[in-house]
Amino acid sequence: MNLLDFILNIDKHLITIVNSCGDWTYLILFLIVFMETGLVVFPFLPGDSLIFATIAMAASPKYHLDLIICYIIFIIAAICGDSINYELGKWSELQSNKFKWFNKLINPQKKKAAEDFFEKHGGITIVIGRFIPIIRTFVPFVSGASKMHYRTFVIYNIVGAFLWVSLFSICGFLFGNIPAVQHHFSLLIIAIIAISILPIIILSIKNKLTKNSK
């Protein structure tokens, strides 16, 4: 099983995980979201699609997943993940000369995209970035590196986590078990990813047009 197959067919793989791991499934769900949001070297892990698919399964009694527990786990994982990522960014900036190997693990282009997004939108980027794959992994890191006041960061962090998890939970609950959605789940995941990265593409085009006009 490769990562692309896991992302595009996450509904099928989740069924396997639930059947194989039982209550340990909750820990696995927590770790995936925590790692995607909390460890800057794992921006490729699924987040939006995982929440959508999990809540859709939890809404069906045959999978024996507790809807409320899943929802709370995702919010806690998202908040804790961004908090750890903030501290990593702060540590990386302070110790950049001692631990140059760590910064080499970070994709410079993706980090630059997050920095540009952060510079343009300020603190609200922490909330907006939640809804954009890749960017949401780097934004808290950049926040810590830029020495944003932790109290300010925490407020944006909590609001962003609540809105992000709630949106995809509501969508998963309302639409996840519709037969047409289940039969074309891979296409839905592609659509979610495409819509999520659209702001990055638009921002990139705007930046290029601005540079060319100067």
First-to-final CA distance of the chain = 48
Token digits of residue 151: 């109290």
Token digits of residue 41: 């070297």
Q: What is the mean pLDDT of the chain?
A: 78
Most confident region among 8-17, 42-51, 60-69, 189-198 by mean pLDDT: 60-69
C-alpha closest to that of 143 among 168, 170, 117? 117
pLDDT digits (tens, 9 = 90+) for 92-151: 776 665 555 455 556 566 566 666 766 676 678 788 888 887 778 888 888 888 778 888
